[in-house]
Amino acid sequence: MNEILKGIPASSGISIGPVHILGREEISVSKRSISEADIAGEIVRFEEALIQTHKELIALQKKVSAELNQEQAQIFDAHLLVLEDRMLIEEVISRVKKEKVNVEYIFHEVIKKYINVFSRMEDEYLRERIADINDVSKRVMRILCGKKKKSLSDFQEPVIVVAHDLSPSDTAAMHRKNIIGFVTDVGGKTSHTAIMAKSFEIPAVVGVEVATSKIGEDDTIIIDGISGVVIINPDEKTIAQYNQARQKIKAQDEAFISLKSLSAQTIDGRLVELAANIELPEEIPFVLEHGAEGIGLYRTEYFYMNRRDLPSEEEHYEAYKFVAQKMQPYPVIIRTLDLGGDKFISQLQVPRDMLPFLGWRAIRFCLARPDIFKVQLRALLRASIHGKIKIMYPMISGVEEMRQANQMLEDVKNELRAKKIAFDEDMEVGAMIEVPSAAITADLIAKEADFFSIGTNDLIQYSIAVDRTNEKVAYLYEPSHPAVLRLIKNIIDSGHRNNIWVGMCGEMSGDPMFALILLGMGLDEFSMPSRMILPIKQLVRCINMDDARKITEAALDLSTGKEVDEFSNKKLKELAPEVYKIIEQS
Ligand code: PEP
Ligand code: MG
């Protein structure tokens, strides 16, 4: 019988395939009693696992020092030290003898104790050793449990990855590998893991809570990223139904392709710009295929992930130049580093905040680390002569930060001018408006910026106080909450009163139901996962601005998010039935 699990739809599409459970060995280590006679064997098993791990680490160290450099290879010295820690080894052996329990269980318990002790240490350096202990212990555990480590790029055949959690950098590693979908226990619709899945067009369901405990390594599953359903070991009839649904989605996508060469213009002639959000330059071909007329958000932090060093100015420059040239004559808005929240970059060794989304992230981090920020600014400016680059700063909370960031940009411009290095003197510089304080004082910030781009993913989480990555409070994450709509309206009106254009790069602009209201508010640019561009274009082409304004006014008069959803759903069905079909399936 089909077993059905329900989660949060994170990236649309349907996948059917075998499962690979990622990181299961971290989750369950069973306790097994052993006899007196088994003790020696358990200790030998442990010692062999240590020797094997040692060999693996030395081999890895050699490879890294040959391919990268000596400094990066030194990271393994810390790992080897953990492996050779006599106190740790002796504690494991003596507990196996005393408690007569299998060695992997004892080892796991001892490691947990070590991690606990280190996490309470005052010294930041020592606290950071937790990552080394974790890494080494996982290697030892894998050998003890007879599991081979699989990397996300190892798969020869298509698989669906099931994991407790996936970091945005794990997801970045899935790009163009044999991974046809993923399911996680935790996560919300606008966590960066979900956002990346959408960009790579990998169907995904997050926040399933029991995925890793209910799904087994030998299972086949269907994931339905439209309704958020996961079906374990489906019967033939269900597989046939889903294959049919998959064909329907494909046909629908193809039907929208005819819109590619048409303009994004309302019936009465208002033109809006429909742009794409990207994480990696490799996405450009998809973006163009979907008819984007620009990049409204290039999230540059992925450039810093899955590597052991910081990107050099040249690497930044080459990536930005590539994107700017490929997107010509359209604009490319490059967002400066938005580290923090749910995105961490291992080589920066930034201590984790208690509340990472409220902590040392984005522009706060960049202003405090001009050594890192200026490298990116220099590369951005140099690349600006190769296309139509604009830049924007994330997480601006008020005028002060905007001025400080602009001052740093001006300093870098002066350095370039002194060295006679060319850059676009007219490059536009914008602010992301994603913090309520910025949304409320948008009239003041508008005087310091050339444009605004509204980051609703964060704006919603901050204004409703709901963590965007937490599945337990996902039901509160409402783009249509009256508070959110009022803030957005204020941002757009303030921008327009100050003669600057206003765009939106949060996920909300790619949702037809909300796009209708945003159009009526006068939003100038909509930037979204590329797959949604043509459906939104279809919507824009079905509407005239008078109707859109009336819908917006009526929506702003409603008292709850639910009422707004029902109302705009109804209007969408009346005005753009083809686009409504997409929502109906979700
Ligand atoms: C946003 O917050 O809406 C946004 C686009 O930025 P990110 O999702 O990267 O935080
Ligand atoms: Mg944001």
Q: Is the CB of 457 under 6 A from ligand 1?
A: yes
Q: Is the CB of 453 under 6 A from ligand 1?
A: no
Q: Is the CB of 15 under 6 A from ligand 1?
A: no
Among 250, 270, 285, identify where a domain stops.
250
* Residues with pLDDT less than 70, the chain: 1, 24-28, 63-75, 124-128, 147-154, 169, 175-176, 306-308, 344-354, 583-586
The answer to whether 228 touches 14, Cβ cutoff 8 Å, is: no
CA 32 to CA 102: how far, in whole Å?
5
Residue 220's domain is classified under what CATH number?
Answer: 3.50.30.10
453 CA closest ligand 1 atom index: 5
Co-location of 96 and 168 in the same domain: no
362 belongs to a structural domain: yes
Long-range contacts of 105-108 (CB under 8 A, 24+ apart): 105/29, 105/30, 105/31, 105/32, 107/46, 107/137, 107/140, 107/141, 107/144, 108/29, 108/137, 108/141
The answer to whether 151 touches 129, Cβ cutoff 8 Å, is: no
195 CA closest ligand 1 atom index: 8
| CA of residue 505 to ligand 2 center, whole Å | 9
DSSP-assigned states of every residue in 119-142: HT-S-HHHHHHHHHHHHHHHHHHH
Question: Could you list the active site residues?
Answer: 192, 505
Q: Give the 3-state secondary structure of residue 434.
A: coil
Owner of token pair 């930060």: 401
Co-location of 396 and 379 in the same domain: yes
20 has which bridge partners? 161
| CA of residue 462 to ligand 2 center, whole Å | 10
435 belongs to a structural domain: yes
| b/e code 148-174 from CB counts within 10 Å (16+ = b) | eeeebeebeeebbbbbbbbbbbbbbbb
CA 291 to CA 262: how far, in whole Å?
9
Co-location of 398 and 517 in the same domain: yes
Q: Is the CB of 505 under 6 A from ligand 1?
A: yes
363 has which bridge partners? none
| Model confidence pLDDT, tens digit, residues 207-247 | 999 998 899 888 999 999 988 999 999 999 999 999 998 99
CA 419 to chain centre: 37
Among 250, 282, 315, identify where a domain stops.
250
> Cα-flanking dihedrals φ and ψ of residue 32, to 5°?
-135, 130
578 belongs to a structural domain: yes
Domain count, the chain: 3
Reported pTM: 0.77
Co-location of 519 and 401 in the same domain: yes
Query: Which residue range is the domain that position 100 belongs to?
Result: 36-144
Residue 110's domain is classified under what CATH number?
Answer: 1.10.274.10
Co-location of 278 and 237 in the same domain: no
Q: Give the 3-state secondary structure of residue 527.
A: strand
Model pLDDT, residue 372: 92
Closest CA to 362 of 350, 380, 354: 350
| Model confidence pLDDT, tens digit, residues 319-375 | 999 999 999 999 999 999 998 777 766 556 566 666 778 888 899 999 999 999 999
Query: Going by C-beta distance under 8 Å and a sequence separation of 6 or more, which residues neighbour residue 230?
Result: 4, 5, 6, 7, 183, 205, 208, 211, 215, 221, 222, 223, 224
Owner of token pair 């081979």: 148
| CA of residue 530 to ligand 2 center, whole Å | 18
Co-location of 66 and 117 in the same domain: yes
Q: In this structure, which ligand is nearest to the CA of 297? A: 1
Q: Is the CB of 299 under 6 A from ligand 1?
A: yes
DSSP state of 336: P
CA 36 to CA 144: how far, in whole Å?
20
Model pLDDT, residue 526: 98
